[in-house]
Chain A
């Protein structure tokens, strides 16, 4: 388990460094089952940093989207490093961003945190209702104990952790400069059974499912914005010359938006499930991404976000790549 005092101490040490300008971690939210990302710039703010099973958000989403603020005349832009606290899944985002050269390894200081799982807000609200209390949650190998405004509730992990945690392949960070806790033993593996299950559906049933799901979409683009791998300065859906996807929310445009986003994430999605967490209308976005992850693994033996030295999957090829349907 992570010792919060040690975590805050390490954060303080990091922020005092001359070469670090900000640190991204988590702090207690103003309400509810999720901690808030915290961007701290001064060592005195380190005491607000926490880590527990409410730390769902992916801090790695903030690194590549940091905007270059206008610099006063005569001043130099601040090119110091960004420190970031990451769980296992979050660290894969950092690795994949490094693979894609979104920034250099020297530009970040990674504080890795071995993680035993995080709470799924929707599951928690189904069990305990919405709450205004600032919930904290402790997780161990069997149970999760939530402190909801002084009232402690203990539940089985499988009833409250996010789906991704129940099949977590990488609980320990894959890249880190400092490890803030003891490495944990892997408790699960992923056989992509959910993808196999979905594939069994007939094409008509599959389309019926997606027709229903995509019709709900209000094109808020929250899935895109929260995704650590969606950091293009100009996204293709916002392009007007030419316009690929219209902004109107009919089934044609909504389908193309989701399909193209899943395709752009093929071999890049690191399965942090942030997209599905934030979708206000509950579209099962991960179904598409998981299909791509499974196929990329099977066909090209590639897994994103594990090897910093790897090449991006679509930037390389194997002369023996499968081509069973090609005439």
Chain B
């Protein structure tokens, strides 16, 4: 292939920890892959698994949900709920035949800029391995 496939990753980052961590990676001039498109949410517990499905429908090849470390959630419990939700959604998508490498989660605190860069790299690598998202992507098939 002349052009290597560059996956589109949508990342939902919690405002207090992960988003701040990503910000730190930026201000520290750390390089990380540009494939990721960040959406800031107040808490990882706010992320509705429908966002994940919708992102995959609209052309994301992988999704990342990142929050505070368990026990450190700014809203105390949000990330615990998120953990349960995405564990199940990942398994469900796997049962449908979707590569589980498309559903990623991480705990990145506000001081872990370097970790964020690593997380992005791993997410992109998994999405590259999974290939372009084609299964239930919205396509103009019946148009």
B23 contacts the other chain (Cβ, under 8 Å)?
Answer: no
Q: How far is the CB of B49 from chain A (nearest CB, A)?
A: 6
Binary CB contact string for chain B from 71 to 87 against chain A (1 if under 8 A, 0 otherwise): 10000010011011101
B interface residues with partner A (beta carbon < 8 Å):
49-50, 53-54, 57, 70-71, 77, 80-81, 83-85, 87-100, 104-107, 118-119, 122, 135-139, 141-142
Docked Cα-Cα span, A204 to B84, in Å, equals 26
Q: How far is the CB of A251 from chain B (nearest CB, A)?
A: 6
Residue of A with least CB distance to B140? A250
Docked Cα-Cα span, A267 to B91, in Å, equals 13
Q: Among the listed A204, A253, A295, A315, which residue makes an inter-chain contact with B97, where contact means beta carbons less than 8 Å apart?
A: A204
Q: Among the listed B57, B84, B94, B97, which residue makes an inter-chain contact with A314, where contact means beta carbons less than 8 Å apart?
A: B84
Q: Among the listed A260, A317, A327, which residue makes an inter-chain contact with B119, where contact means beta carbons less than 8 Å apart?
A: A327
Is the pair B95, A288 in contact by a Cβ cutoff of 8 Å?
yes
Q: How far is the CB of A318 from chain B (nearest CB, A)?
A: 8
Docked Cα-Cα span, A244 to B83, in Å, equals 22
- 21 of the cross-chain contacts (CB-CB < 8 Å) are A199-B95, A203-B94, A203-B98, A206-B97, A207-B96, A210-B96, A211-B135, A236-B50, A250-B141, A252-B137, A255-B135, A259-B93, A259-B96, A291-B92, A292-B92, A295-B91, A313-B84, A321-B84, A322-B87, A325-B100, A327-B106
Task: Give the dominant DSSP class at B's interface.
Answer: helix
Is the pair A252, B136 in contact by a Cβ cutoff of 8 Å?
yes
Q: How far is the CB of B59 from chain A (nearest CB, A)?
A: 11
Residue of A with least CB distance to B100? A325
Docked Cα-Cα span, A260 to B89, in Å, equals 9
Is the pair A248, B142 in contact by a Cβ cutoff of 8 Å?
yes
6 smallest beta-carbon distances between A and B, as pairs: A207-B97, A206-B97, A317-B80, A327-B106, A255-B136, A326-B105
A interface residues with partner B (beta carbon < 8 Å):
198-199, 203-211, 236, 244, 248, 250-253, 255-256, 259-260, 262-263, 266-267, 287-288, 291-292, 295-296, 299-300, 313-315, 317, 319, 321-323, 325-327
Docked Cα-Cα span, A296 to B88, in Å, equals 8
Known: A260-B50, A321-B87, A326-B106. A266 touches B139 (CB 8 A): no
Q: Among the listed B77, B85, B90, B136, which residue makes an inter-chain contact with A256, where contact means beta carbons less than 8 Å apart?
A: B136
Is the pair A317, B81 in contact by a Cβ cutoff of 8 Å?
yes
Is the pair A326, B85 in contact by a Cβ cutoff of 8 Å?
no
Residue of A with least CB distance to B85? A314
Chain B residues lying within 8 Å of A252, measured Cβ to Cβ, are: 57, 136-139
Residue of B with least CB distance to A258? B96
Is the pair B99, A203 in contact by a Cβ cutoff of 8 Å?
yes
Q: Among the listed A262, A313, A317, which residue makes an inter-chain contact with B77, where contact means beta carbons less than 8 Å apart?
A: A317
Chain A residues lying within 8 Å of B96, measured Cβ to Cβ, are: 206-207, 210, 255, 259, 288
Known: A207-B98, A236-B50, A326-B105. A266 touches B80 (CB 8 A): no
Docked Cα-Cα span, A262 to B95, in Å, equals 11
Docked Cα-Cα span, A300 to B71, in Å, equals 18
Q: How far is the CB of A283 from chain B (nearest CB, A)?
A: 13
Known: A208-B97, A236-B50, A244-B50. A291 touches B91 (CB 8 A): yes
Is the pair B83, A323 in contact by a Cβ cutoff of 8 Å?
yes
Known: A256-B53, A326-B106. A263 touches B89 (CB 8 A): yes
Chain B residues lying within 8 Å of A207, measured Cβ to Cβ, are: 96-98, 135
